[in-house]
Amino acid sequence: MRILHTMIRVGDLDRSIRFYTEVLGMKLLRQKDYPGGKFTLAFVGYGDESENTVLELTYNWGVDHYELGTGFGHIAIEVDDVHQATEEIRRRGGKIIRDAGPMNAGTTIIAFVEDPDGYPIELIGRH
């Protein structure tokens, strides 16, 4: 068994695809409209779905905003160098909500960036 994807609902699919591909460097792997259900799914990630966990971006037609809720935590992405990654994301127009530094009560270097819908994304240095 393995984790296939994490799904998040987004208010503007094109804006979210641009963020995940242009700011975080993922690839758009596939996208499909479901007219009968009035939604579109787009899958983004760093590699082929057969070997990597990806994000499923769900756009429900006509819905431009969601409350994030209190149960969702964050998406985590491993990077080679957290300081360098945050600077590159900032340069690409991404919003850094916690600069690179040691995690609370630990030594692992982390940072947080926010996607266009407000979802937090943790950057964790490669061990």
Residues known to be catalytic:
122
Strands in 54-60's sheet, in edge-to-edge order, are: 5-9, 54-60, 39-45, 27-34
Alpha helices in the chain (DSSP H): 13-18, 82-91
Close Cβ partners of 16 (under 8 Å, ≥ 6 residues apart): 10, 42, 57, 59, 115, 116, 117
C-alpha of 28 from chain center: 12
